[in-house]
Chains A and B, each alone.
Chain A
Amino acid sequence: MQTAEKTLDEILALAAAHFKVSRERLSPDDDFFKALGIDSLQTLDLLTKLENHFHVELPDYELQGVSDFRTLAGKIQARL
């Protein structure tokens, strides 16, 4: 069973790589829209990237109102 901490770390690494920002600039409680500088369409890209990486299906309505990496990690962890 993957730990929540590892899930969070992998999300931060994936987001940094996909949107070409430095991993060191991202923190678990950052607003990912602001930290990554992404819009709603790019958020869907992030969602797809995470689903493919973790082999989970995450209905996007569960992400309504979610804007920080830590909460996002919790949603994914619940489906692992």
Chain B
Amino acid sequence: MIELAAKGAASNVQKFKGQALSWESKSGIIELVLHREPCNELGSLSLGELEKFAAALADLERDAHALILYSDRKSGFCAGADLRELYQRSQGMEPSEAVRGVRDFLERIHHVLNVLDAAPLTTIAAVHGVTFGGGFELALACDLIIADKMARFCFPELRLGLIPGFGGIPRLKRDLGNAVVRDLLLTGRSFNATKAQQIGLVSQVVGEGETLRAARATAVQLGKFARQTAVTAKKFIKPIPYDELRREIDLFCELFPRPAVQAGLKKFVESTDVQPYLP
């Protein structure tokens, strides 16, 4: 439920509390918090609420200069797509029907992430712990990433026979270049916040539990500058790779019905291995 409550003469507080995420806007800063157990896996519930947020952003951004995106789950920022839901939904379907469902999901989440990527305010992902797959892609749609020193980043999709599907490859290539994408994508390895800062992905590395404080301090700083200049600068320096994003959806849908992918998803979902997150 979205609430609009007058709080004092000068500032309106807008709030939403959902099952997977919540947001609140006050004093020019929107805070979007992910809170779905176990680690903010992105499935239909999260997507529906992210779509609500994307729709509400047109109103929210009128009174805001910054957005902070973070997780209040101890395990991390986001473990990526909800693979259990993906696997279970595709069971019993004809491959063509399953691909249609996957394409619809990807189109919808790409829309949300494109809105976030292009939003006329400065966006900060404050990440800790697991920032994998779709969670990494969510952070990549933001303008700045502030990382807890215990954060880890990874594109594990290849071990399922897939590629990242939420815009990760084009956005990482835009921000860091092709060699970094190849390293992460083709090895499936994860790397820590220090490495992420060394390669230019992360703007600040902070102590454990300090990301939100650092993001809030940064958001206050952003508010000191002319809003329209910041918007112009962002638009100039952060082009959205729409053609590659579109191609990524097509490639993902080409790969999805392959037997190796179905076998990989089944293995992950049914795994009792203590190391399923290790490629």
| Given known A-B contacts A40-B275, A59-B187, A45 and B194 have beta carbons under 8 A apart | no
Name which of B189, B190, B278 has the most chain A CB atoms within 10 A of its CB: B278
Identify which of residues 40-77 in chain A touch chain B, using a CB-to-CB cut-off of 8 Å.
40-41, 43-45, 47-49, 51-52, 57, 59-61, 63-64, 67
- Smallest CB separation, B195 vs chain A (Å): 6
Can you offer 16 A-B residue contacts whose CB atoms are under 8 A?
A33-B274, A41-B76, A43-B277, A44-B129, A45-B129, A45-B150, A48-B149, A48-B192, A49-B150, A52-B194, A57-B192, A59-B187, A60-B279, A61-B188, A64-B275, A64-B279
Residue in chain A with minimal CB distance to B188: A61
Query: Is B64 an interface position by the 8 A CB rule?
Result: no
Note all chain A residues with C-beta closer than 8 A to B190: 44, 47, 60
Q: Interface size class for chain A?
A: 10 to 19
A interface, over-half SS: helix
Min CB gap A66→B, angstroms: 9
Q: Is A39 an interface residue (CB 8 A)?
A: yes
Interface string of B67-86 (1 = CB under 8 A from A): 00000000110010000000
Neighbouring A residues of B150 by C-beta, 8 Å:
45, 48-49, 52
Measured between beta carbons, the chain A residues less than 8 angstroms from B149 are 48, 52
Q: Specify which of A39, A52, A59, A60 lies most central, judged by the most chain B CB atoms within 10 Å of its CB.
A: A60
In-complex Cβ contact of B152 among A33, A39, A44, A67 (8 A): A44
Residues of A within 8 A of B277 (CB): 40-41, 43-44
- How far is A65 from B273 in the complex, measured between Cα atoms in Å? 11
Q: Look across to chain B and name the residue whose beta carbon is closest to the beta carbon of A34.
A: B274
In the A-B complex, the 9 residue pairs with the smallest Cβ-Cβ separation, listed nearest first, are A40-B277, A59-B189, A33-B274, A48-B192, A60-B278, A40-B275, A48-B150, A41-B75, A60-B190
Which among A39, A41, A67 has the highest number of chain B CB atoms within 10 Å?
A41
| Residues in chain A near residue B189, CB distance under 8 A | 59-61
* Smallest Cβ-Cβ distance to B195: which chain A residue: A57
Q: Mark B152-193, 1 if CB is under 8 A from A, else 0.
A: 100000000000000000000000000000000001111111
Q: How far is the CB of B149 from chain A (nearest CB, A)?
A: 6
Q: How far is the CA of A43 from the CA of B129 in the complex (A)?
A: 11
Q: Is the CB of B39 within 8 A of A43?
A: no
Docked CA distance A40–B275 (Å): 5
> Which of A43, A44, A45, A47 neighbours the largest number of chain B CB atoms within 10 Å of its CB?
A44
> Distance (Å) between the CB of A42 and the closest chain B CB?
8
B76, B129, B275, B277 pick with most chain A CB within 10 angstroms: B275
With A57-B191, A59-B189, A60-B190 as known contacts, state yes or no: A40 contacts B76, CB within 8 Å: no
